[in-house]
Every structure is written in structure tokens, then in C-alpha cells.
Amino acid sequence: MSEIVATCPRCKAKEITFDLLTDIPLYVKYKWQYWFEAFCVCRACNRSTIFVLSQRDINDKVEIKNGLSSYSRAVNQIVKIEGHISLKDIAAEQPPEHLPKQIEAAFREGAACMAIACHNAAATMFRLCIDLATKDMLPVEEVEGLNRSTRRNLGLRLPWLFDNGLLPEALRELSTCIKDNGNDGAHDGTLGEEDAADILDFTFVLLERIYTEQKRIELAKERRNARR
């Protein structure tokens, strides 16, 4: 039976050995790094945890592909513990495809906060996604009407981007969840579920327009060129 050493999320025992009973492959990153979910039982409290694991080194490909539960030593040698499945993973909204890593990480954190009803924290992370995405859309050179406050303040930046045709007009109505003064209530801790859901919807559609659709068009062009 395979083993893994970790801190138990259930009894909080540190560096305790778990029996790794079974595992399933999730996906492959960077064309070599295998990710897994592994069902494990703590030897201290005899309760189960599903760990999320990723391959440590590209050279461990053969051992990884044979499955973790058949590994004869502690699997910590060939995988890293990325986390464990918990309440935050229940019905969490998945991010759009082809996002920059920093924006994807912020979106996933916001979605996890939404799943456990931390609406103010969720809104803050979704605002961060919008902030990061729209800053890159501003021209570097000086432009009339684009002052320091507009560059810095998300609530002022969005109308400027709409007015200057840099964001689709169809998204303007959805953007009203971001107040003109840049304070949508998250700073005061007064957001409810509907407020956070509105910001989530705008964030998702905006990121799809900026990143996902453009990347899909790019990939379609590459496939067309490859067929010629």
C-alpha cells in the first residue's frame, strides 16, 4: 500500500502518515506535469481526506503514469501536495479559458470565496481580476481625458474604456456593479450575495471577451494555416 506524509486537515496532526488507497488522474500541465486526486486515510484519526497532488519532476514520468497507489514508497518523493478537497470546491465557478496566471489565480480565489459565502472577499478578488485586465488596455502615451485618477481608479477607468471603444458597448450595463467612485461596498464589508454575483458575472464575461475569445480566434487561425 502506498503512503503519503502530510498535516491532517481533520485532526490537525502534523507530518502524519496517510494510507493512500486510490488515486485518479486529473489533467496534465506544461505537457509533462500530472495532477491527481488521491483518497487517503490518516493513521492518527482514521478519517479520510482527498488530496490534490502534482508531479514534482519531469523525470518521474514513468513512475507517475503507473499510478500513485502502486508506488512502494512515500509518494512525497514524486509529488507535491497542492491542497485538499473541501467545502470551497463545491460548485465553485470555473474561470474562463486562456487567462494569464495571475488573473486566473485571483478568479479561482474569488470563486472559492463565493462557494463558502464570503461575498466581500469574493468581490475583492473579482475586482482585482478586472483591475489587472483593464490596466493593460490603457494606452501608455498621454491621451486627452486619461489622467492619473482614471488610470488608478477602476470605477473611473471602465467608463473611459467604454467611451473610447476599447471595451464592447454591450458590456456597459453589466459594469454598473462597479460604482463610479470605485467603492462597490467591498471596502465597507456590506456586500450581499446578489452584489457579489453581479460582479462575478461581469468579471467572467469581461475576461472571456478580452482573453478567451481572442485566444480561440488565434488557435483557429493556426489550425487553418496548418491545413494549407
pLDDT tens-digit series, residues 44-79: 999 999 999 999 999 887 778 778 988 888 999 999
Residues 67, 204: Cα–Cα separation, whole Å = 35
pLDDT digits (tens, 9 = 90+) for 4-30: 999 999 999 999 999 999 999 998 988
With cut-offs at 50, 70 and 90, classify the pLDDT of residue 190: confident
The chain-wide mean pLDDT, for the chain, equals 89
With cut-offs at 50, 70 and 90, classify the pLDDT of residue 181: very low
pLDDT digits (tens, 9 = 90+) for 154-174: 989 999 999 999 999 999 999
Full-model pTM: 0.66
pLDDT value at position 187? 59
Which helix (H) or strand (E) segment holds residue 126: the answer is helix 119-135
81 against 91, higher pLDDT: 81
Tell me if residue 167 falls in helix, strand or coil.
coil
- pLDDT above 80 for 221: yes
Quickly tell me which residue has 465553485 as its cell: 92
| 145 and 139 Cβ atoms separated by less than 8 Å | no
Which helix (H) or strand (E) segment holds residue 154: the answer is helix 154-163
Quickly tell me which residue has 486562456 as its cell: 98
